[in-house]
Amino acid sequence: MARKDEEKDDELNEDEESASGDASAEERDDDERSEDESDAGAEDEAEESPEAHERERAEHESADLALEAKALAHESTETAAEQLGASARYVHAAFFIGGILLAFISSKIIGVAWGALADWPAATRAVPLLLRFAEDERGSYALGIGALIGILTIVQVYRKEHVRRWADEVALELTKVTWPSRETVTNGTIVVIVASMIATVYVALLDRFWGFLTHLVYGA
């Protein structure tokens, strides 16, 4: 009986050992499969990483280009606004100067015409009001009438759409011109002055020399 029990125990131990061996083999197989899967995933990531980097770089470049385009659009908008503001200032200044010139010329013409009519007997008989004001007062009234003519004329001209559009286009083209700097203008002016002085001295010396020769020849 004792021998049979020992044999049974041995068989049980063998079964347990075989079961544990099978379990360990299965664990090894699982480990190997997981390692293979991790290696395959790493290889896939390694294969996909250049493409992913390219996509990321392309996305960054597109984002940078979009930002640059927005910045350029903003700068162009600001530049256009500045040009429009500058052109509007030019237009207003031109109309203002034109009004002043028109008022001045009109006042002078009215003053001269008033004086001429006041000296004409037929005109004074027809319009006695011409002699009602003194000569000094005529100038003041002529200036006021000329100013009124200038203001009304400029307002009427400015209200015309085609005239204002043409003036805006001209002023906008003027804003696009690259004007020389103050230093460039100063240097150019100095060069012109120096060249003019040298030419003046040369011509004066040449005139004196030919005058001396002429006096020498004809005086002898």
Q: Which residue has the higher pLDDT, 23 or 103?
A: 103
How many Cα atoms within 13 Å fall on the side-chain side of residue 173?
Answer: 5
Neighbours of 59 (CB within 10 A): 10
Residues 6+ apart with CB under 8 A from 110: 142, 145, 146
Which residues in 80-103 are b (16+ Cβ under 10 Å) and which e? eeeeeeebeebbeeebeeebeebb
Lowest mean per-residue pLDDT among 32-46, 81-95, 206-220: 32-46
Among residues 176, 168, 177, 179, which one has the least CA distance to residue 87? 168
Among residues 168, 173, 167, 107, which one has the least CA distance to residue 141? 107
CA dist., res. 152 & res. 103, Å (int): 10
45 pLDDT higher than 50 = no
137-146 residue pLDDT tens: 777 888 889 9
21 pLDDT higher than 60 = no
131 pLDDT higher than 80 = no
Contact present, 153 and 99 (Cβ < 8 Å):
yes
Q: What is the dihedral of CA 87, 92, 97, 100, to 10 degrees?
A: 170
66 pLDDT higher than 90 = no
Q: Which residue has the higher pLDDT, 95 or 37?
A: 95
Reading the block at residue 11, the tokens are: 């068989």
What's the pLDDT at 6?
A: 53
Contact present, 154 and 99 (Cβ < 8 Å):
yes
42 pLDDT higher than 50 = no
What's the pLDDT at 186?
A: 93
| pTM confidence score | 0.45
